[in-house]
Structure 1
Amino acid sequence: MEFKVIRLFVLLAATVKAQVNPEVCRYPLGMTGGQIQDEDISASSYWSESTAAKFGRLDIGGGDGAWCPDIMSEPHGLKEYLQVDLRSLHFITLVGTQGRHADGMGNEFAQKYRIKYSRDGSNWVSWQDRKGQQVIEGNRNAYDVVLKDLEPPIIARYVRFMPVTDHSMIVCMRVELYGCEWLDGLVSYSIPDGHQMIYRDLEVSFNDSVYDGVSAEGLTKGLGQLTDGTWGLDDFLHSQIYGVWPGYDYVGWSNRTFPKGYVEMIFDFDHVRNFTSMKVHTSNMFSRGVRVFRQVTCFFWSDSEWEPGPITFRPTPDRVSQRARFVTVTLGDRTAKTIKCRFHFSDVWMLFSEVAFQSGSAVYNTSMGPGKHPKNPLTVDDPTHKVDDSNTRILIGCLVAVIAILSAIIVIMLWRQVWQKMLEKASRRLLDDDLTARLAIQNRAFAFRHSSLSSDSGSTSNSTYERIYPLCADYQEPSRLIRKLPEFAHSAENLKSSSSCMAATASGSDGAPHYAEADIISLQESSDGSIAAANMTPFTGTDSSLREFPREKLSFKEKLGEGQFGEVHLCEAEGMQDFLDEDLSVGEISESLLLVAVKTLREDANKNARNDFLKEIRIMSRLRDPNIVRLLAVCVDTDPLWMITEYMENGDLNQFLCNLRLKEAPDEDKPEQEEGEDSISYTKLISMAAQIASGMKYLSSLNFVHRDLATRNCLVGKNYTIRIADFGMSRNLYKGDYYRIQGRAVLPIRWMSWESILLGKFTMASDVWAFGVTLWEILTLCKEQPYSQLSDEQVIENTGEFFRDKGKQVYLPKPPCCPDSVYNDLMLSCWRRNAKQRPSFQEIHAQLQENMSA
C-alpha cells in the first residue's frame, strides 16, 4: 500500500514536471511485458498464423517464435514492416531486436533494419541518426538481444520496424521499445531556420539538424532538437554529442534579420491543455554576444481564434554568470491547444537548446488550430478529451474525494509507523535474549535473507514499468544494493537460492540499506547457483568463541564516521589480548591497550536493522584470514549493540601512502624501512597489493563479493601488514569518493565496473575491476583520485563507452613507477569489458608474487 501511494505521488509529480531526461527514460514499453495488446501489433504480411505480428515480442516464444513476413526481404527493400501502436505519444530512446530461435528449430533474424515513425498515423518519418544514417545494425544470431540507442530519440505513437538485407533472404524479428510517456503533449513546433555565426574564422551552425517536419521557408509540422532532451553546454562551441560541428546543441538566430526585434515560435499540442509554465534552456554567453531573451509574449488558441490578453514575461537580466540555464516562463493556467510565443532579443544572438511545457489535460472539446490542422487521431477514441463543460463539477468532486482518501491513507500509515516503533522498543530485551541464546548454540543453521528483499519483490509487481536492464538472474538495483544471502543448511543440497532479478525503480523504500557498509560480508552464490561443499568449511564452526567484552574496558578515542547501522568509533580496548581465544589471536601485543574499531547500532534502530546487525556479527565471526579484518568480540548484553573489530595502528592505506614518497630506485634491494620514514620502495608497494589480492582470493573462495574494494578500505599494521576492511564509506574524509543517487544511496563509481554501474551487476569479476583501480592507487601513492580530471557525470558517461565498446573509453593512465608488463598484463586485464576475460584473484595473486621475486 505504501509503495502504491508513493508511486502515485511520483506520477503526479512527473505530470507536473513533464520534462524528459533521456538517461532515465529507458523503460520497456510493453512488448515483452504484455502491456501492449495483440491488436496494437500489426504487420505488412506474415508466413502463417503462427508467425503473425503478435508473436513479434522480444524474449517471448509464442507461436513459431517470432514475426516473419510472408515474402523474402529484398536488398534495401522497405515493403515489409512490423508496426507497434503505443496508443499515445511516447519519448522513445532505445530499441531492442531478436531473431527466431524457437528452441533450436529456427535460425532467421534481421541483420539490418530501418525505423519509421508517426505521431498521427498518416505522416511517416524515417528515423536517421545525427550523421544522417538510417540503417541500424541488427542481429548476428537468432537468440541474442541487440539493444540500440536512438540518437536522436523519437517522439511517436506508431513505430515500424523494417528489415533490410544485403541479398534476398527470409528474416524474422522480435522487438521491444524503450522510453516513457511524452507528457508535454507537444506534437510539433514551427520556428525560423537557424542562422550561422562566424566566430574567429570558425563557422558555427545553429540549425535544427534533427527536425522531422517540413523545411521550407522555416521549419513546420515537426519536432527536433528543442525536444530531444539534450541541453546545450555553457560554451556553445562545444557539445555533449561526440563528433559534431560547433553550435550543434543549440538552435539560434541573429537579430540582424528580424526587423521587429523578436523570433516567433508556434507550438501545437495533442489536445486542449491548462498550461502552468514553459521552461526554455538558453545560452547566456554575453562575452560572445549571446544573452537570455529580454522578454517573451505568448498568445493562446483554444477554440477558433487567438484569445485576447497575451501573457508577457521578463526574466531577470544576468550580467555576471555566463552559464546556460533554464528560464521558467509562467503561463498562468491558460487554456490552449496552440501557443504562439515571441522571444525578444536582448543582444545580437539568442540561442535555445530545449523547450518544455508543464500542463494538465483540459476538459474541453478539441478543435482545429489556427492552421486548420486535421483533428488529432490520438484524441478521437479517448473520452477524457471530449468531456462536456457540464461535467466539470462532477470531475472536480471526484478529484476532491480522491485527495481526501489519499490523505486518510497517509494519516493511517503514519499512525501505524508510530505504533510499530513503540512495539519495537518493547521487544528489544527479547531480541537481546534471543541473540545471547543463538550465539551459544553450536552448529546452528545459518539461514536468513535480507528482510526487505521479500517486500521489494512484492512491490515490483505494482510498478508500471521495469528497468531496461533486469536481464540477468543476479541483477541488483544500483541505488538499493540489497544484500542477498543464501540460506545455509546442514548440507549443500539444502541451500536455497537467494538470487532474484531486482526490477524496482531507483526510488527505493526508506528501509533499504546504503551502499557497502560491511558489504565485505555479502555472501554471493556462484554462477551455477550453488556453493561447493568445500567452501562451507569456515561456516561449520561455532559461535562460542565470540565472547561478550566488558564495555567499561573500551576507551573511545575518535569518531571515524557514520555507518549504515550507526556510528563507527576508534577505541582502545584494555586487556583484549587476554580476552581473546587462541584462534582469534592478533599477534604479539606488548602493550596492555589494543586499538579496535567499534561499530554501534543506533538506539532508534528498527527490528530489521537490529536483525541485519546480528546477521553481520554471525558472518564476520567466521571469517579467518591474515589479510581480512576480524571481529574480535561483541557487546550485546545491553543496548546499544556493539561489534568490536580489529583496527591497525597505521590507519587506512590511502592516508598511509598519501604521506609517503617513492624511493628513487624502486628495484634496488634495500633493507626494510624503519617506522616513521617518509619513503617506500616499489617492491613494498607490490607486496601490499599482493596481500590485498590474497585477502580477496580468500573471500572469492567463499563466493563473497566486497563491492567497495579501495585503499580507503584497507588497513595498515606493523611491517606493512595489510588487512581488508569496510570503514571507508562511513568516514567524512572519503565523502567525495562516493556519488550520491537521488539524495540517498551512494556509489563508489570511480572504482566500479561498467556492468555494476549500468546493469547493477556485482560479481567477483567486478571486484577484480575494483582491484585494478586499487592497484593504480597504490602505485600512484594515492596522490590523486582515480579519473580526477573527470566529473562524476563524465565518469558515468565513460562507463557507457565501455558498454558500447567503440574504442572511445578512457582508461586510468600508467603510473610513473609501474612497469609496462604490470600495467598491460595486469591492470588493463582487470578492466576488460568482458567480465569472463578478467583474471581471477588466484591469478592476480600469483602474478604479483612473481613480480615481487623478479
Structure 2
Amino acid sequence: WCDRRTIMHLFLLLILQATAAIGQIDPAHCRYPLGMEDRRIKDDALKASSQWHETTGPQLNREEGDGAWCPAALPSVSQYLEVDLGRLTFLTVIGTQGRYIRNSGNEFAREYRVNYSRDGKLWKSWRNRQGNEIIEGNKDAYTSVIKDLRPPIVTRYVRLLPVTRLSTTVCMRVELYGCSWDDGLISYSAPEGQRMQPPGYPIANLNDSTYDGVHERGKLFGGLGQLTDGVIGQDDFTRTHEYSVWPGYDYLGWKNDSLEYVEMEFVFDRQRNFTSMKVHSNNMFSRDVKIFSSVSCWFKPHFVWEAEPVEFRTVLDDRNPSARYVTVDLNHRTAKSLRCHFYFADVWMMFSEISFQSGNKHAPAAPSASATPDDGKTPILIGCLVTIILLLVIIIFLILWCQYVCKVLEKTLIKQALVFPTACGGGYAEPDITQCTPHQCFHSNAPHYAETDIVRLQGVTGSNMYAVPALTVDSLTRKDISAAEFPRQQLIFREKLGEGQFGEVHLCEAEGLPEFLGEGSPLPDRDGHSVLVAVKQLRADATSQARNDFLKEIKIMSRLNDPNIIRLLCVCVSSDPLCMVTEYMENGDLNMFLSQREIESTLTHANNIPSVRLTILSDLLHMAVQISSGMKYLASLNFVHRDLATRNCLLDRRLTIKIADFGMSRNLYSSDYYRIQGRAVLPIRWMAWESILLGKFTTASDVWAFGVTLWEIFTLCKEQPYSLLSDEQVIENTGEFFRNQGRQIFLYAPPLCPPSLFELMMRCWSRDIPDRPTFEGLYQALKPHVNQ
C-alpha cells in the first residue's frame, strides 16, 4: 500500500473531480467532418462566385471533373466559395487542398480568408485572436492542410475567399470540421467591457475582443464572441492567457461605479423552453471580483416582453477564489429572447462563458465549486468542502511519509530479490520472460515483463513509443543498425504529420526507394509513382538522452518484420538531423477510412455515398484478424504498443492493414488524448483501468485496447468510444472497474456486430487480467469467421 505512484494517481483523480468545469461546448472535442468528403453536404448547398470551366465548379473533395473549385479570375474580394451547412454549426477546423487531379494539376491557394453568416444576409469576416484575417493555406497541390479556427465561429453559411500575391491561378478542395450548435443562441447584447488596473499587476483588458456584432456608444449588440467560444476563464485573470494575449483576455468584465446592474439580452434561432442558464464567473475576491449576487430574467415569447421575471439569488463565497459555473433555474419558461439583469456583489463582475439548456436536453453537471445551493444546503456544502480538504491533507501526508519509508523498503526489496528469485525465475530488475506467461508475471512479485510508467508513454518524436522489457532492449541494442543509409536529398517533404519535444514526423515522397531497397523490398508495385513514407526526424536541439533513445528506437524498429506491422525501410544517420524512414499507406488510417464510408445498400447507392466493399461482415472481420495477427507478433517479442486504436492502423490500396504509432502526434486526433499537466497525454478511452489508475501497461492492457478497436471497426468509426461521457467521467468509470461493484459502464454492442463477437469484446474488457484472452487466442477465435 506504499505505492507512491498509485497514491499520486488517486490524488490526481480527486483533484480532477473537485476542479473540473464543463462548458457548453469544447472546441478540442468538436472536430467532426461536416460532410464535404462523404457528401452529406449536397451539391445544391454549394455556391461559387465564378468558375474557370464547367468542370471546376463548386464540387469539393471529389474526383469528378477537375476535382476542385477554381474561380474564373485571379482571387479578389469578389471571388468566393460558399457552403450552406444546413443548420447552425460550431465551426472549429478548416482543411484545404489544391487541385492535383491525379498529379496532373498544380493549382492551390497559398492563403485565404473566411467570411461567415448565421442568416445568409449579414456577412462577417473571421479574425484570429490577434486580429489577423489571413489563414495560411497550401504550399503545393498535393498536401492537405488542417487549420484550427481560433477562435471558432457559430455559423450556418461559410465563404472561403482565396488570396494570392502572385499572378497565378488558384483552386481549392475543402473539408469543414465542427459540430452542431444545439444551444441555438445567435446573438447577445451587453455593455462593452472595461479595463482594470490591479495594484502591482499589468492592466487587464476585460473587453470582448472577438465579438462579431456592432460596437456602438459603449454597447455590444447583434453578435457572438468570447462568451460562446467554449474557452472558460482562468481562476487568476491577472495572468497572461495561454493564447499569448493580454491578462483578462478570457473575460468580459464591468465595474459598478457607473452601472447599477449589467443588462444582457440573448436572441435565439427559435422559440425554446428554457430549463437553466449557466454563467461561468470569476470569484477572485482578493481583487474585488465576485460572482453576481442575483439575477432577474424577462422572457419574450413573441412580440412583447412578459411582465413577470424569473429571479434568482446566489450564495456568495468569500473562501474559495476559484472561478465557477453558476447555474440559474429558468423554470421552463418559453421564449425566443431573454433579457437578464445581473447585480453586483463586489466592485467587479466578470463572465467568460454563458450557455443555455432548453427542452429535454440534459447539460453536463457543473462541478461542486460551481453549485448554487439554497440557504438550507449551505451547512451540507461546507461539510463536504471540509471533508475534501481533510482528505487532501491526509493524501499529501501519505505521499510525504512514503517518500521516506519507501526509500528504505526499496533497498530491502532489491536485496531480497537478488537473494530469493521470484516464482517466475527472474531477478527483480530483469524478469526471465521465458519462464512465465504475461498473466503469471503480472501477479508475481517481479514487475511485469513489459510494464511501463505513463511518464514514458510519448516517444521522442511525439508518436507513441513501444514499451520493451529491459532484457529485450539490451539484446536488441547490442546489435548494429540493420537498416541501410538512404540519401536524404531524395526525400521530398509533403506534410508534417506530428511533432514532439525533440522531433517531428513528416509525410514524404522517397525517390528511387524501391530500387534502393532492391529485391525482397516490402514495398508494393507503385507503377512508376513515387513512394509515400513516414519520416521521423530528430531536431538539432535534442538532448543527448533523446538522441540515444532515438537510436535505440531505430535498432528496435529494424528488427520488426511482420506483414501487419509498419516496417522500418531505411535511415539517415550518417549526419544530422537523424532520420528513420518507415512505410506509409496510401489509404491513410483506418479511422478516417471507415468513418467516411457506409455499408453498401440500396440507400447508399441512391445517395451516392462512397462505400468500400463492405457487403458482408467478413470484410470487417478480415480487418480485425489482420490487427490481431500484428499484435500477436508484437506480443511474441514482449512488446507493448500502449496506443492501439483505428487511428494507428494504416491501409494500403489492397486494404492490407499495418499497425503504426503515429496517432498521438496527429492534430486531427488530439481530442482522443487526455493531457495530464506536466506528465503525459493518455488515450484514456482505449486504456484498461489498471493503466489509468496504476500506470501499468502490459500485453493484457493492449488486449483491452484491441476490444475498443474492434468496437470502432464495427461502428465504422462513426463516434468516439464513450462519446456520451466526458474525459473526467471516463476516468471515474475506471474507478468503478477497480471497485468491481457492478456499476461500471461498458461500450454498447454495435448493430453490425454479431453476438459472439461482442462477447469476445467483453472478455477483452474483463476486470481481472487472467480473464482476458491472449492475442494468440483472439487471432484463433477471429480467423475462422473470415472464411465463413
Task: Report the TM-score when normalising by structure 1.
Answer: 0.45
Answer 1 or 2: higher relative contact order, Cα 8 Å, separation at least 6: 2
Larger Cα-atom Rg: 1
